[in-house]
Amino acid sequence: MVATVSTLHTPAQEIERLHALHHQQLEEFRAAPMPDAAVRVGNLRKLKAALIQQQDSLVKAVNEDFSCRAEGDTLIAEIMTTVQALNYMIKNVRKWMRPSGRHVNMLFAPASNEVVYQPLGVIGIMVPWNYPIQLALVPIATALAAGNRAMIKMSEFTPATNRALKDMLASVFDETEVAIIEGEIDVSSAFSEVPWNHLIFTGSTAVGKHVMSAAAKNLTPVTLELGGKSPALIAPDANLEHAAERICFGKSLNAGQTCIAPDYVLVPEGREKEFIGRYHQAFTKMYPTMKDNDDYTSIINDRQYQRLFSWLKDADEKGAKITQINPGDENFSDCRKMPPHLIENGTDEMTVMQEELFGPILPIVTYRSFDDALAYITDRDRPLALYLFSYNRDIEKKVLEQTHAGGVAVNDTLMHIAQDDMPFGGIGPSGMGHYHGKEGFVTLSKAKAVHRKGRINSGKVIYPPYGTRLHNLVYKLFIR
C-alpha cells in the first residue's frame, strides 16, 4: 500500500509538485511504454475493487461537500456508472488492443498493413465539482485501459471528496501511475499549460476556451466536455405525462447540477399549463418534501446558490412568469436547498435564456409548428445533449437529421451517458472529442499505421526514371 501524500497548501508548492510528478510519470512511462493486457486489466480491477470498498466514504465525502448530496444521486450517477464503465473496459480492453489489419492496394503488394494502438503517455484530467467521482475515475480508467498514466486536477469546491479519492487511489496506485493535484485558479492554469500527451477537461464553455488556448501553446490535443443549453423537445404526438416525468427526473437529479440536464423545454403552444401540472405531479411524487429530505440535493455552495437566484430575479424583472414547485410549502432561507422554478414568457434578454443554468430552473418555450421548434434549436449553439419526446419514427428521423447535438436520448433524459458501448462528447461550443467505451480507448491511444514490406519490392515499378513503358502501364491501370 502506498502512503497518502499530503496536499501542499501553497499554490507555488502544489505547482512545483505538479511539474515534478509530471516529469516522474513521463520517465516511468518511457521505461514501460507498452503495458500488456494483463497489466491494464489488473489496474482496472484494482481501481474497481478500491471504489467498491471505499464507496461509503466517498458517498459521505460528497455529501459533506454539498452539505446535502442525495445518497441515491451519488450511488446511481457516480459509483454505479463508474463500476459499470470499469466492467465494460475489463471485458473489452484485450480486444481493443489487437492490431487492426487493413487493406493493401495491389500496386504495393506483397505487403501488409495494420493499425497498432499505442499508449500516448501521461494524460491530464481536469475534474469539475458536480460529479467529482465519476468525472475523475471514468477518465482515469480510460487512460489506464489505453496503457497510460494519469494526473487529475480536482475542483477546489470538493475538498472532502478530493481527500477521499486521494486516499482511495493511494491505496492501489503509486503517484507515478495516478496522482491528484489540488488548488484554485492559479493551479488550474498551471495544470492546463503542462505539455500533456492528451488533456481532458470537463467544465464550462468559458473556462474551456482558456484551457484550449493554454493547451494550444504546446499543441496538446484536448477533449473538452462543456455542456451548454440542452433542449428537451416535446413533439405534438408525445405523451405529456411520460415526458414531464422523465424531464423532471433529468432536471432534479443532483438538483439540476448536471452538464446534460435539460436546460429548456419546447412545448406545443396551448399545452404549457398541462406540462406544468404534469411536472408538478411528477416532482411531488419523487420529492414530497425537500428541506429535510436527504433524497434532494443541495446547491454546491453559496456562490452558485446566489447566482441562480440572481438569474431568477433578472427573469422576473424582465417579465417572466415564474412557478415555484414546493409541495411541502417549506422555507429554505437557512439552507442551500432550491426548489424547482419553471419559467414562462422567457425572452432572449434574460440570462436564464442565454446561459447554461446548472440548477433547478427550467424555462418553457412554446412553439406553433414543429418546424418552428426545430428552427429554435438550430438557431442556437449546438448542445451537449438533445432530448426528443415522440413515439413517431418520422418525427424522430427528422429531428436526428436536422439537428446537431453531442448525444440524443429519445423519450428519456440523461440515460444515454450511461451506455457503455456509446461515445460521449460535445460538438462546437458544447465540446470536442469523445470518450467512454472504445472511443475513449481510441482517443487516448495513438492509432499508428504500420506498413510492412518483405524482400520483394514491387514498388520499384514507380521509381525513376519516369516516362518508361512500365510507368505508362501503371498510370493506365491505377489512374482511372
Question: Within a 10 A sphere around the Cβ of 299, how many other Cβ atoms?
Answer: 26
Going by the DSSP 8-state scheme, the letter that residue 435 receives in this structure is: B
Give catalytic status of residue 248 as yes or no.
Answer: no
Strand residues in 260-402 grouped as ranges (E):
264-268, 321-324, 341-344, 361-367, 385-389
The alpha carbon of residue 455 and the mean position of all alpha carbons in its chain are separated, in whole angstroms, by 49
Burial class (CB in 10 A: 0-12, 13-18, 19+), 346: buried
Q: How many residues does the chain have?
A: 480
Give the whole-angstrom CA distance, residue 27 versus residue 176: 9
Give the H or E element holding residue 27: helix 11-31
Grid coordinates belonging to 217: 501553446
Give the whole-angstrom CA distance, residue 320 versus residue 146: 50
Contacts of 402 (CB under 8 A, 6+ apart): 374, 378
Give the whole-angstrom CA distance, residue 285 versus residue 209: 40
Contact yes or no for 365/267 (Cβ under 8 A): yes
Question: Within a 10 A sphere around the Cβ of 412, how many other Cβ atoms?
Answer: 17
Give the whole-angstrom CA distance, residue 357 versus residue 228: 8
Give the H or E element holding residue 451: strand 445-453
Give the whole-angstrom CA distance, residue 155 versus residue 130: 9
**Active-site option among 14, 78, 175, 225:** 225
Give catalytic status of residue 259 as yes or no.
Answer: yes
- Cα dihedral across residues 244, 249, 255, 260: positive or negative: negative
Give the whole-angstrom CA distance, residue 129 versus residue 213: 22
DSSP characters for 187-242?
HHHHHHTS--SEEEEES-HHHHHHHHHHHHTTT--EEEE-----EEEE-TTS-HHH
Exposure on the CB side of residue 327, measured as CA atoms within 13 A = 17
Amino acid at 110: P
**Active-site option among 14, 78, 259, 356:** 259
Grid coordinates belonging to 241: 405525462
Distance between terminal CA atoms of the chain?
65
Residues annotated as catalytic are 225, 259
